Amino acid sequence: MLQDWKCLLKSWNPEIINKDDKQSFIYLLQHKITKTYVGSVRVIFINEHTPVQIMPMQRDGKVEGIDHLTKDLPICEISRLALIKTIPEHEDFSMAQLRTLLSMALMSATRINFFLYHYSRIFAIMEHSLHRILKRQSVAFEPIGDAVDYYGVRFPFVIKKENYLIAGKKTEDTMGQLTRYYLKELCKNPESFWQFIDNNPYLERSDIQLDRICQLFKKFGDEVSMEDLLGMNELTKTV
């Protein structure tokens, strides 16, 4: 099923997007046969260099009382996770199963983003149904507030770097397979990704872990562990 779908990183054009998008990784999920874009997700990051230093969930979603969680940079907020209604059918999966798997593929893009750029915390506003899907995959976001009306009734969550490491260590299920697959595909053709990094005024190549990850695939192939991909030996020194 994975070979039917391609995850793309969208380059930004300052004439058509807002200031938040300029400091974001925006991923699009494409059906390869029809070339139809079926889903998207945005990872807006805040580091020492970004002009926007407050997350949309605080500014627009009115999530309050979390300032103490946002001081240790870099941090990010996951948003705009969405699938279109008319997804091409798949002969091996029902539409409900397909939508669940594609939602996981989009969430895998956010996990890949963490592998590539190590945030201290990841924030999101989501429905409880999505939270349950992630929890079953050992990605246990913590609730940090009451429900807010933010494109519908949703709840604010956060996951710390150390808990994300534990999730990565446990995950060899569907989410782990998706993450490993797309990271390996990125290593086969990294030029457009590096072009995105070079064109983004708030990122440096030294911020990004891609070269290290690609060397691991080259050395170990599909046998490379999630712990090695995450760089747990290096990261656990700081948590």
pLDDT in tens, 73-123: 999 999 888 898 888 888 888 988 888 888 888 888 888 898 899 899 999
Q: Is the per-residue pLDDT at 168 higher than 60?
A: no
- CATH code of the domain made up of 2-235: 3.40.630
Q: Torsion angle of alpha carbons 211, 212, 215, 217, nearest 10°?
A: -110
Collapse the DSSP code of 16 into the 3-class scheme (helix H, G, I; strand E, B; otherwise coil) and give the result.
coil
Other Cβ atoms within 10 Å of 146 Cβ, number: 10
In the chain, beta strands by DSSP E: 5-10, 24-31, 36-46, 75-83, 121-126, 142-143, 148-149, 153-160
| pLDDT given for residue 171 in this prediction | 57
